[in-house]
Amino acid sequence: MTVSTISSAVHITPVAIKTFFAHGKRRARKYKNGDTEEDPKDDIFFDEAFHIVKAFIEMGTRNTIESLQAFTNTHVPAPYWASVSPVRVPLSSCNQAADILIDWFGPEELKQVVGGERWWQVRGLDGVDGEWITETDYLSDLNVKNDKNMSKDDQDILRMEHLDRVMLYVHGGGYCWGSINTHRYQIIRYARKFRGRAFAVNYRKAPQYPWPCPLQDVLAAYLFLIRPPLNALHRAVPPSRVVFAGDSAGGGLCLTLLTILRDMGLPPPAGAVLISPWVDLTHSFPSIMNNVDTDIIPAHGFLAKPSTLWPIDLLPPKDGRVQPSKSNPPPEPGHADTLKPSASRLQREQRPKKLPQSDASNVSAAKSSTPTDQGGHSDDDPSKGIQYGDFQPKPPKVLMDNKDDIPLELKSQIQLYATTEQLTHPSVSPVLQGSLGNLPPLYILAGDGEVLRDEIIYIAHRAACPSEYPVRDGVTKDSKRQLSNCKNFTTPTKVHLQVFDGMCHVLTVFSFTDSAKYAYRSIAEFVGHVTDNDEAHLNRSPFPELHRPVSSVWSHDHELDPHRRKRGSRTSRMKKSGLSEAQPSDNALDINLYKEGVQNLVKEIGCDNAELRSAIDDKNATVDIPGITMIRERVDIWGKTRPMEAKEDIPALRIRPEEIGLIREAPAIRWVKGQDEWDATFKKSAQKAIRQRRTLESKASTLIERAIEQGLVLHSGRTDMSQKSHGIQASHVKSTSDQSIDGTIQEDRRWGPFDLDDETPPPSAIAGRRDTPEAVALLKKCIYYTAPITHETVPKLSARDALRAAFDPHDDPTRPPRQSVSEQQVRTHVIPVHGLRLWDALVGYFMRESSKKALDGTKHAAAAIRHTGMNIGIIDGEADTC
């Protein structure tokens, strides 16, 4: 059974029932034992939502990755209170982004690490899907109905123009699933809170479009905002009015994009909000093992039922997916280190530093004066981990817990986003960026119970304190750019880090909790602050909590939600939808929590500084509280803040740089065990997928042969070997003197599957495959419908082939076949209520019930106080009854 609304309900309903009864037993046991520790799961609504999300993700791992992608990329209509206008980022913006990335990588990295400069520009759609999102009540009254050719969506884009705060939102989903549809309700909430508009980008996803495809799409979306093409409806948005925001994989993409903009001297946004950013794909931090039970992420990672798409090795290699390494010469920069270092190699690597090969203690002593030790690392630190001298193994070799053990070597790709050899590239795992300094202000949020907690805490401190937390030497040895960045970008980035007690990955999903309500309010205040003030002001005071005069949020207590004002006029539209949709109501809770957090922060900052204390106490002050470059806080389950412990007391900050960004033994073994279980469980599915691949390869060959018969001719400029490998013989390649092919590339260029000469796409990349239905669909579209400029002719589909396409579920006789579900949204009319809408309705129900429960508790407490006051005579009973 594939991932669908029905299968999700069948799988999740027993989980919800089980959680309901288990919750009561656990609470009773906790009460009996006198356990007073606060846990978010003490709330039945969070307990249910947590296990529902966890169960859904686990169900997704037991289905094919295409099935999960299709379900989470199904188009879902927007709620009536929001204005959502779909647009497409054009190829011109995509090509500008590609040119920037080509310059950033450089020819050597493009060839040795990325695999070329064309394959990742291949796409099925004519751009990148995106959406402009805001509150319907925020639209202006601009009259644009005179143009009969303009749709309502286009009109709404023009009516948003006065909203000058813009959030570029990049959704998460492990780089391989999720879409603007799964995150739309969250984005609407952000836009409502910060009183602006958001632009959500539906970037291409792995494994069909692996790194750096998503990076190109997000960069293209940013360029589309600040440098719109001539035919775009919106005016250029100043970068100072844009804020990046992303969760999980989206947060990692935002951080990587910020470093690229910095390196290339391009205008950065005003700031960035990183929600549980995934920044270390090697899983080298301890929380990846310690927090499995308290997070929604599956223990074995994002595995999948075998299909023609994934995994690459449908059946495990003869000797297993992990094997002991063998010794060979050291690799070239950017290539995988599959070796255990020989004595001569270690001596050769250590000689420039004049460190004795035989004395490990001398190595430690020589390192004691480096910036590493300035960050709190000492030789007697029991938590510093294993000492390996200067040797830092590259994937797919595994860093062993015992340095005397023969290193293991992974024989299968472990992440869908990038090959195992690419995981240590700084644009894949931004924790390995040479420097995270000189970036715009960052607001970083993490859950204390999530598996990514440690890496999030670490990158926040790396950004705020570049000199205290240097990157490991292996990164700068392999990349001149990263070495240069270490030297050039030393200015601390302004960072506000908050770790939420007991919360799991992407806490904002659980929007009905007090923690999430506080987070939404704080994010809105951050967006407003960094977009409303100039760069000089932000350099002096980057945090809204320290801004004077105080934010306008302090005067919003009396405001009613705009939906409440118009609820009566829209009731009929709710009934027509077939759903009792959640009414988003903003009460004073999140505002009060934010106020209380600000008061706690300024008291903590000013307690030891008389000048700051006087500024804090002055309610009429107009000068910001200066001199603060990093705010470090923890947030309890009620949304109340407190200072974070000292840096030296945080285990994640005591890890040595040479251990970061390396695949560790424990996570690798756990992944192998999980994959072995999947191999055994889905062996028949894997064997079936192997047969299907052969059939599809034959189908692709037949498609190319018939296209040639129908007149397909390509430009020359490729070697005979590459022509043969792509199914095109030299006799069907036409010579041309057009310099736009081999010389200056035109702005409207577009590459196809036949344009990958001398390139080596990753094994999962759709551009280089012929053995999946989506690869065949891309091939057909590039031949018959959207031919790149490297095609001399566009053949006409024969009647016989059109008839065959009519009976093919993956094809269409009259229009281009559907493209990959990792890129093109699915539109279904089979089930009127999609599972994504059901989830949003469920969250709305939890929000209403949580608010009602909180209100009932407040009334009960007030009644108890009145009753006690009457008993002791300090409250007049008659006055109480008036």
Confirm if 725 and 767 have CB atoms less than 8 A apart. no
Q: Which CA distances in Å does 546 have to 231, 320, 605, 619, 758? A: 42, 56, 10, 12, 55
Where on the phi/psi map is residue 873: left (φ > 0), alpha (ψ -120 to 50), or beta? left
CA 114 to chain centre: 20
Query: Among all chains, which residue has been given the structure tokens 């836009």?
Result: 191
Return the amino acid letter for 697.
E
Distance separating alpha carbons of residues 835 and 5, to the nearest angstrom: 5
Distance separating alpha carbons of residues 13 and 48, to the nearest angstrom: 11
The token pair that represents 379 in the structure block: 């030789």
> Which of 244, 738, 130 has its CA nearest to residue 526?
244
Q: Determine which one of 93, 248, 412, 515 is catalytic.
A: 248
Distance separating alpha carbons of residues 254 and 463, to the nearest angstrom: 14
Cα of first residue to Cα of last residue in the chain, in angstroms, is 63
Provide the sign of the torsion angle of the four alpha carbons 772, 778, 784, 789, taken in this order.
Answer: negative
> Which of 680, 603, 62 has its CA nearest to residue 320?
680
**Helix or strand (DSSP H, E) at 129:** strand 128-135
Distance separating alpha carbons of residues 129 and 459, to the nearest angstrom: 30
Distance separating alpha carbons of residues 19 and 22, to the nearest angstrom: 5
What is the SS3 assignment for 632?
strand
Q: Is 737 a catalytic residue?
A: no
Other Cβ atoms closer than 10 A to 621: 14
**Helix or strand (DSSP H, E) at 135:** strand 128-135
- The per-residue DSSP string of 178-203 comes to --HHHHHHHHHHHHHHHTSEEEEEE-
The token pair that represents 712 in the structure block: 């397909």
Distance separating alpha carbons of residues 40 and 484, to the nearest angstrom: 45
Which residue numbers are catalytic?
Answer: 248
